[in-house]
Amino acid sequence: MLNGEPGATISQFIDDAKHIDLLSEKGVSARLGLLLYGPPGTGKSLLAGHVAASLGRPFYIARLDSLISSRLGETAKNIRGVFEYVPAKKAVLFLDEMDAIAKVRDDRHELGELKRVVNTVLQGLDSLTDDVVTIAATNHPHLLDPAIWRRFPYKAEISLPDRDVRESLWLHFLYEGQEARRDEATLLAQVSDGLNGADIENIGLAARRRAILSGAEPALAKILLAVSGSRSGSARLIGNDDLDAQAKRTLSSFLSDKGGINQAEIARIIGVSRQMVNKYLKEVQDG
Ligand SMILES: Nc1ncnc2c1ncn2[C@@H]1O[C@H](COP(=O)(O)OP(=O)(O)OP(=O)(O)O)[C@@H](O)[C@H]1O
Ligand SMILES: [Mg+2]
């Protein structure tokens, strides 16, 4: 599930890769390199696998961070090994966590080791035959060497999910796609801006685990509380016990501020009277 824009680049990439023989015959082929960049947990690694699957090609993953060694010369050797290992002919080579390269430094000659490693990657990319598809992913595109950047003509920015995508993610991960739960998914999408797909998956699966082990589905209020914690960087577990007054206060204020949800609706979600919600909001305001 993706926001619109990158989706278009990716379908174009898949289309071009599928017809690479025709395109090169006509002399208009481009190097089949796709760079996915954007914040963590937005599905870049997942997407690379999907691209390979929709091309029906074998998929080789190399995590650059795992090839980095503190021993001089070792990193370049590891990277060379990856490119030598990829069999020519219609493979997809996925270079994940590309920004790891930029962290290579060597104390003795300032940037000596970094240069050597970047050169090894460039040589590796250039050694691949035209029919090998390369996909690279990074959280920090600005750390990539410009020469590496140029080796990937197709670029797709994978950003945090927008509201529609969040709604689909909630529906999928929390409600297993049940259309009857659409309204709840809509509400969750409304208040979960800033969360990535991995966060939504985590909260959704945690809630389903609680439902299975306790025999009762966690109330929407508890899931919303987990969302509010996740957004403020203080993750909360979804517990089995009832919300205490403090949690109800936090939740009232969260829904009112961030979701712009009215007091009657908040009262219904939390299961208290509207007067009570009004009281909570006043208490929060008065600190
Ligand atoms: N847009 C999305 N659609 C479907 N699932 C998603 C999406 N974004 C994240 N996920 C879920 O979150 C998990 C983590 O995503 P993934 O590891 O692909 O993110 P990433 O962008 O590669 O993160 P990082 O930059 O940290 O490597 C995925 O396995 C998937 O289940
Ligand atoms: Mg990843």
pLDDT at 108: 60
pLDDT at 230: 87
Evaluate: CB of 43 within 6 angstroms of ligand 1: yes
Q: Which ligand is nearest to the CA of 138?
A: 1
Average pLDDT score over residue span 205-216 = 91
Instruction: Give the residue with greater pLDDT, 150 vs 71.
Output: 150
Q: Is the pLDDT score of 105 beyond 80?
A: no
Of ligand 1's atoms, which has the minimum distance to the CA of residue 97? 27
pLDDT at 156: 95
Of ligand 1's atoms, which has the minimum distance to the CA of residue 165? 1
Structure tokens at 193: 């801006």
Specify the 3-state DSSP secondary structure of 112: helix
Evaluate: CB of 2 within 6 angstroms of ligand 1: yes
Nearest to 162 by CA among 128, 116, 194: 194
pLDDT at 231: 79
Rank 2-11, 28-37, 103-112 by mean pLDDT and report only the highest: 28-37
pLDDT in tens, 236-261: 778 777 889 999 999 999 999 988 89
pLDDT in tens, 123-180: 999 999 888 999 999 999 998 999 999 999 999 999 999 999 999 999 999 999 999 9
pLDDT at 113: 82
Report the phi/psi class of residue 90: left, alpha or beta, with left for phi > 0 and alpha for psi in -120 to 50: left
Q: pLDDT category, 109, cuts 50, 70, 90?
A: low
Q: What is the dihedral of CA 154, 155, 156, 158, to 10 degrees?
A: 140
| Residue ranges of domains in the chain | 4-157
Rounded Cα gap, residues 81 and 214, in angstroms = 50
- pTM of this structure: 0.88
Phi first, then psi: what are they for 266, rounded to 5°? -60, -45
Q: What is the pLDDT of the chain when averaged over all its residues?
A: 90
Evaluate: CB of 164 within 6 angstroms of ligand 1: no
Take atom 11 of ligand 1 and give the residue whose Cα is closest: 198
Evaluate: CB of 46 within 6 angstroms of ligand 1: yes
Take atom 9 of ligand 1 and give the residue whose Cα is closest: 197
Q: Which fold has domain 4-157?
A: Rossmann fold (3.40.50)
